[in-house]
A and B are shown apart, each in its own frame.
Chain A
Amino acid sequence: MLDFLAQRVAISALTLFLITLIVFTGVRMIPGDPARTMAGTDADEAGLQEIREKYGLDQPIPVQYVRWLTLALRGDLGESIRTRESVVKIVALKLPITIQLAGFSLLIALGIAIPAGIFSAVRRNTVWDLLANAVSLCGVSIPTFWLGIMLILLISVRLHLLPASGFVSFLQDPLGNLQRMLMPAFVLGAALAAVLMRQTRNSMIEVMSANYVRTAYSKGLAERVVVLRHALRNGLIPIVTILGLQMGALMGGAVVTEQIFVIPGFGRLIVEAVFTRDYPLVQGVVLITASSYVLINLLVDVSYSLLNPRIRVKGAADES
């Protein structure tokens, strides 16, 4: 057990290290003088020299990397070119908004996908199963941002039911916050729901054909009890992993969703940073996103192995 954990942590640490290398190299690949990029267009030569010294840009690349990494480990990701604020501070301000959006859409996605997946698996090859599969296929194919635009068109422009865009903090105005979050969260959750529904269905079909489920049936237990008490518990295990892996898609989706619904979160931040060529901010945001993805999946794997000793042993064997 400890072996598995240690191995998992070591691999994650290595991955994180490689991520920093990739991000650092990526920013180095931007054509032009990094000092000029950082200073903006209106800096003079003296200003540029000052920046070079301040950030150690006059030193060899490996030295620069070590310096950057040391600062990053201390939580210093530099400052935004545009606002001169610390990158970590800006992100810390925006992140809670995106976390709320992501959490909300996760709830919506799970709320749709799990019941629909179970239902499809239990009523396999019926009209309902076919319908659920068709809806899920449409869900994967529909571009998130178009779904968002169409919902705004229908619900806000035509029916005037919900506000089309904007954001208010939950603490300021709980109802207004939920009203404004509902559509974006649904849009972001729709694609995830489609993927999760398919997985739930497949995994439930597999579990339902296991011997112990047949035993449960032949004991005379009601179908509801067999499905919910016996099958579901094992059927949901793979969903946890898929959920971890889908976090990346959720982060990417948040960028688009926040753009459409004008939500001032993490996703909008990265687009703004790209447009204003605010490289330290882009670098910081990408680094934080990738690192959190690795950490989330580490947590998923660890909790997964705690839940299921069989996978723990098998997983350790696979990793080697």
Chain B
Amino acid sequence: MSPEGGGTAAVPQEGADAAMAPAPVVRRRTWRRALRRPPAVAGAVIVCLFLLMAIAAPWIATGDPVRTNWGQIRKAPTLAHPFGTDDLGRDVYSRVVWGARTSMQAGVLSILLAIAVGVPTGLTAGYYRGVTDQVIMRLTDAWLSFPFLILAIGLVSILGPSLVNATVAIGTAATPTYIRLTRGLVLSAGQEDYVQGARALGGGDLRMMLRHILPNIFSALLVQATVSIPGAIIAEAILSFLGLGVQPPTPSWGTMLNTAQQFLETAPWMAWWPGLAIFFLALSFNLAGDGLRDFLDPKDY
């Protein structure tokens, strides 16, 4: 792409080849394409807000999320406690804010773990084919036969309940999906001319995988990551809800809902906010992921 300045007049036509246009035009066109999808943009913005909330939790929360106050037990929302207080007099708003940290951590780290294990394994299977592929894929099939949540519960029962172990369990349960996806992508990428060409030029195995195949399957993996993070976030909430994830008093949306269930009649607000938070975060990730998939689809102009 030539860094030709002043491409202002060149209004791109539908179906114009992006590779031919000057850089600023491409950039502007990219923005315009992104902004054509308001729900996806809104999703991405909300995800960023949650991320900010997780990082800046100490400043956004109005109080200490674990400090109990026996004089303020199960109080309905007020100005001082906008989301009300829980069964131990803790501020629900502060707990929801800190809970974002737990959820983000579990959701993102578990999927990163799944990618770190799944992508190299899938690359190996798809690149070398043959016996290696057969062995890896049969194991992956078996692994995939364990329902996601049942496998995560089983693993937590072995590892013991904690946030780290729940994250590891969710990541392990999500790994086979990445092995399968990567392998499939590698198989189709391997047929492409540029890969064949690079091979003809004498590229080594590792160089082929990292320089030629991986960059070309990256966008598909990114989309998959965006749509599997909400699943992982919900899985963490479920494990914590069942008492198999984050242990009290650490704030987590799942454990908060677990407690809230006992006080539905007297303190329903305890159940509203953590659930709404999970719902909005998952919804935003899904919106952003759907948008990203359309956006990265080269056929879509």
Docked-complex contact B138 and A146, CB < 8 angstroms: no
CA distance A50 to B153 in the complex (A): 30
B49 lies within 8 A of chain A by Cβ:
no
Q: Which of A146, A282, A285 contacts B278 (CB 8 A)?
A: A146
B contact face: mostly helix, strand, loop, or mixed: helix
Docked-complex contact B149 and A253, CB < 8 angstroms: yes
A150 lies within 8 A of chain B by Cβ:
yes
Docked-complex contact B157 and A282, CB < 8 angstroms: yes
B270-292 CB mask vs A (1 if < 8 Å, else 0) is 01001100110011011100100
B16 lies within 8 A of chain A by Cβ:
no
Interface size class of A (residues with CB under 8 A): 35 or more
Docked-complex contact B234 and A143, CB < 8 angstroms: yes
B298 lies within 8 A of chain A by Cβ:
no
Q: Which of A29, A149, A275, A293 has the most CB of B within 10 A?
A: A149
* Closest residue of A by beta carbon distance from B161: A274
Q: Which of B154, B278, B283 contacts A138 (CB 8 A)?
A: B283
Docked-complex contact B279 and A142, CB < 8 angstroms: yes
A39 lies within 8 A of chain B by Cβ:
no
Would you list which residues of chain B between 131 and 157 have a CB under 8 Å from chain A? 138-139, 141-143, 145-151, 153-157
Number of A-B contacts (CB under 8 A): 135
CA distance A275 to B264 in the complex (A): 24
Would you list which residues of chain A between 262 and 287 have a CB under 8 Å from chain B? 270-271, 273-275, 277, 279, 282, 285-286
CA distance A145 to B154 in the complex (A): 19
A90 lies within 8 A of chain B by Cβ:
no
Chain A residues with CB under 8 Å of B149's CB are 249, 251-253, 255-256
B261 lies within 8 A of chain A by Cβ:
yes
CA distance A285 to B145 in the complex (A): 13
With A141-B283, A149-B261 already in contact, the answer to whether A255 and B153 are too (CB < 8 A) is yes
A1-24 CB mask vs B (1 if < 8 Å, else 0) is 000000000010011001101100
B77 lies within 8 A of chain A by Cβ:
no
Q: Which of A247, A271, A291 has the most CB of B within 10 A?
A: A271
Docked-complex contact A255 and B150, CB < 8 angstroms: yes
B230 lies within 8 A of chain A by Cβ:
yes
Chain B residues with CB under 8 Å of A152's CB are 264
* Closest residue of B by beta carbon distance from A165: B261
Docked-complex contact A11 and B141, CB < 8 angstroms: yes
Docked-complex contact A270 and B150, CB < 8 angstroms: yes
* Closest residue of A by beta carbon distance from B148: A252
A316 lies within 8 A of chain B by Cβ:
no
A177 lies within 8 A of chain B by Cβ:
no
Chain A residues with CB under 8 Å of B238's CB are 143-145, 256
Docked-complex contact B145 and A293, CB < 8 angstroms: yes
CA distance A104 to B286 in the complex (A): 28
Would you list which residues of chain B between 213 and 252 have a CB under 8 Å from chain A? 230, 234, 237-238, 241-244
A260 lies within 8 A of chain B by Cβ:
yes
Chain B residues with CB under 8 Å of A19's CB are 142, 145-146
Chain A residues with CB under 8 Å of B274's CB are 146
Q: Which of B145, B154, B234 contacts A294 (CB 8 A)?
A: B145
A115-147 CB mask vs B (1 if < 8 Å, else 0) is 000000000000000000000011011111110
Docked-complex contact A149 and B147, CB < 8 angstroms: no
A222 lies within 8 A of chain B by Cβ:
no
Chain A residues with CB under 8 Å of B153's CB are 255, 270-271, 274
Chain B residues with CB under 8 Å of A252's CB are 147-150
Q: Which of B147, B156, B230, B285 contacts A251 (CB 8 A)?
A: B147
B246-262 CB mask vs A (1 if < 8 Å, else 0) is 00000000000100110
Docked-complex contact A141 and B268, CB < 8 angstroms: no
Chain B residues with CB under 8 Å of A282's CB are 154, 157
CA distance A152 to B234 in the complex (A): 20
Docked-complex contact B142 and A251, CB < 8 angstroms: no
CA distance A282 to B146 in the complex (A): 13
Docked-complex contact A137 and B243, CB < 8 angstroms: no
With A11-B141, A256-B242 already in contact, the answer to whether A157 and B265 are too (CB < 8 A) is yes
* Closest residue of A by beta carbon distance from B285: A141
CA distance A266 to B243 in the complex (A): 18
Q: Which of A15, A150, A153, A249 contacts B147 (CB 8 A)?
A: A249
A290 lies within 8 A of chain B by Cβ:
yes
Chain A residues with CB under 8 Å of B271's CB are 146, 149-150, 153
- Show 13 A/B contacts (Cβ-Cβ < 8 Å), sorted by A: A140-B282, A141-B283, A143-B275, A149-B264, A149-B271, A150-B271, A248-B146, A252-B147, A255-B153, A260-B261, A274-B157, A290-B142, A294-B145
B residues bordering A, Cβ < 8 Å? 138-139, 141-143, 145-151, 153-158, 230, 234, 237-238, 241-244, 257, 260-261, 264-265, 268, 271, 274-275, 278-279, 282-283, 285-287, 290
Please list the 9 inter-chain residue pairs (A to B) with the smallest Cβ-Cβ separation, ordered nearest first. A252-B149, A248-B147, A146-B275, A18-B142, A141-B283, A141-B282, A274-B157, A252-B147, A251-B147
